[in-house]
Structure 1
Amino acid sequence: MTHINALDPGASPLDYYGFELRRHREAAGLTQRQLGDILNYTGSLVGQIETARKLPTPEFSERADAALGTDGMFSRLVELVLRSRLPAWFQQVAELEARALEICTFQTHVVHGLLQAQSYARSVLGVLDQADLDDRTAVRLARQRIFDKEVPPVLWMVISEGALHQEIGGAETMRNQLAHLLAFEHNPRVNIQVLPFSVGAHVGLQGAFNLYRFERDPDIVYTEGYGSGHPTANPDTVKDCSLRYDHLRAAALSLKDSAELIRRVMEERYGQQGGDPVA
């Protein structure tokens, strides 16, 4: 077991979080068990977070701020902690997501991570690797907190109809995932269009890509391979992908018709809507 006194707060954001949690807990005169009781968690979990052996969650952080009077410090810090646990090659993408005013994504086989429900994300992440699956799922879902900002980004997602039929995690998981997409139906900042099978050949046949647009910085195009990401601000690439995206949006169903197709696939292929749509 890592001894808490040996924890180096400069080693990582997770170590710093644990160091500060212990410091504020002791300043409040609380044991790990007592703090756990206040937060409605176990003292063991508090100890694991203090020794950087367990990731804190946003919910834990909010409760710790309230209990220890830290004025939102842990809630702010947990964002950095969770982002630091992303694969190194993907951390830059999370930073782009956090800074972008507009995110445009075209997806061919899966729902984009920013719109994945918990069980769906867990199924995607667990295909080849079950290790630390709870923590990796939490880290992925934490990216979605950009929609909780005072001024969240505008998201456009064009998704192939095939992704609605690709059964990931079983019928219940897919039902919940499609219900989760429908929950954004009346949100003007999250726009989902389905590219139907009937379109045939289209300009996105080369694969998925993302466009990030910023207030002052140049637009960036991001594509992904196995275990690697490829962001670029090359003007020719950005111009080409922007044109492709315009054509994809034009070929896709309207927002209303897309929602109707998602609803129909959910009901006909995966049964009636049931359960928590974000479970």
Structure 2
Amino acid sequence: MAHIRDLDPGSSALAYYGAELRRLREAAGLTQKQVGDIIYCTGSLVGQIETARKAPTREFTERVDAALGAEGALIRLWPLVSRSALPGWFQPYAEMEATATTIYTYQAQLVHGLLQTDAYARAVLGVLSKDRLDERASARLERQSILQRKGRPVLWAILGEGVLHQAVGGPEVMRGQLAHLLSYRHDDWVHIQVLPFAAGTHAGQLGSFNILRFDDAPDIAYSEGYDGGRTTIDPQQVGDRSLRYDLLQAAALSLDKSADLIASVMEDRYGERP
């Protein structure tokens, strides 16, 4: 059985979090079971997190931070820990995404990760394996915190109409997901458009892609496949994606008409009027 003293706190964000949790707990003179009783979980779970065998959730972090009087120390570590549950090849992109001032995304098959509900994310991430599903879904949803912070980025998302019809997770999950998309209808920072089937041939037929823009760094284009993601700052390639995105926006429905279509699909296909 692993012990926190056998772990190198510098080896990972998860190990550092575990070491800090144990330090704060021992400073408070509490056992793992006592901490568990205070925050309504098992002492075993506290031990697993201290030994970096299990990742903490945001809820656990907020409760234990308050219980141990950590004054936000563990909460400040949480984004790093959460990001560590993302695939290794995706983590560099997630870090860049978190600092972007504007995010443009075209999604042909799925709702973008920044707009997914918990149930939708679990359905997507659990297709091949349920291993560590809680941690992986939590990490994906933690990315969305950039949309609530001060100085958040502007997000422009174009979704292929097929995304609305692909019943990821079943009707109940899709009702919740489409309702979540509609919740941004009057948001000044998140803009969602739908590329309708009627658009026919379009500039995004080669697949989904993202463009990140920054105040003081070159634009970045990103796309991914089955085995990883590809990021480029090559001006020609970024320019190509930018042109494609402009053409997709021109072919997509307006913001209002897009919301109307989402609402219509939600009612007609998934049986609920928003």
TM-score range, shorter chain: over 0.9
SS at match of 1:129: coil
Once the two structures are superposed, residues 46-90 of structure 1 have per-residue CA deviations (whole angstroms, 9 ceiling, x without a partner) of 111111111111222122222222221111111111112211110
CA displacement at 1:40 relative to structure 2: 2.5
1:186-201 map, 5 Å: 186-201=186-201
Contact residue 179 and residue 273 of structure 1 kept, 8 A: no
Alignment-derived partner of residue 223 in structure 1: 223
Contact residue 90 and residue 228 of structure 1 kept, 8 A: yes
User: 1:2, 1:190 → 2: CA distance?
Assistant: 44
Gaps of 5+ in 1: 275-279
Alignment-derived partner of residue 150 in structure 1: 150
User: 1:256, 1:36 → 2: CA distance?
Assistant: 48
CA displacement at 1:41 relative to structure 2: 2.3
User: 2:200, 2:149 → 1: CA distance?
Assistant: 38
User: 1:4, 1:231 → 2: CA distance?
Assistant: 36
Once the two structures are superposed, residues 189-210 of structure 1 have per-residue CA deviations (whole angstroms, 9 ceiling, x without a partner) of 1110000111111111111100
In the comparison of the two structures, how many residue pairs are matched? Answer: 274
Residue 168, structure 1, aligned to residue 180, structure 2: no
Of 53-62 and 89-98, the range deviating more from structure 2: 53-62
Please list every run of at least 4 consecutive aligned residues from structure 1 whose deviation after the TM superposition is greater than 4 angstroms: none
Once the two structures are superposed, residues 5-31 of structure 1 have per-residue CA deviations (whole angstroms, 9 ceiling, x without a partner) of 322211211011011101101101111
Residue 17, structure 1, aligned to residue 17, structure 2: yes
Alignment-derived partner of residue 211 in structure 2: 211
Once the two structures are superposed, residues 238-259 of structure 1 have per-residue CA deviations (whole angstroms, 9 ceiling, x without a partner) of 1111111111111111111111
| C-alpha spacing 1:226/1:217, structure 2 compared with 1 (3 Å) | same
Alignment-derived partner of residue 7 in structure 2: 7
CA displacement at 1:273 relative to structure 2: 5.5
Residue 129, structure 1, aligned to residue 129, structure 2: yes
User: 2:128, 2:65 → 1: CA distance?
Assistant: 37
If the length of structure 2 is used for normalisation, what is the TM-score? 0.96
User: 1:129, 1:42 → 2: CA distance?
Assistant: 26
Could you tell me which amino acid in structure 1 is paired with residue 168 of structure 2?
A: I
User: 1:227, 1:74 → 2: CA distance?
Assistant: 33
SS at match of 1:89: coil
User: 1:4, 1:224 → 2: CA distance?
Assistant: 36
Alignment-derived partner of residue 58 in structure 1: 58
RMSD across aligned C-alpha pairs, in angstroms? Answer: 1.3
Could you tell me which amino acid in structure 2 is paired with residue 71 of structure 1?
A: E
Could you tell me which amino acid in structure 1 is paired with residue 239 of structure 2?
A: K
User: 1:267, 1:41 → 2: CA distance?
Assistant: 40
User: 2:142, 2:21 → 1: CA distance?
Assistant: 20
Gaps of 5+ in 2: none
Residue 202, structure 1, aligned to residue 206, structure 2: no
* % identical aligned pairs: 60
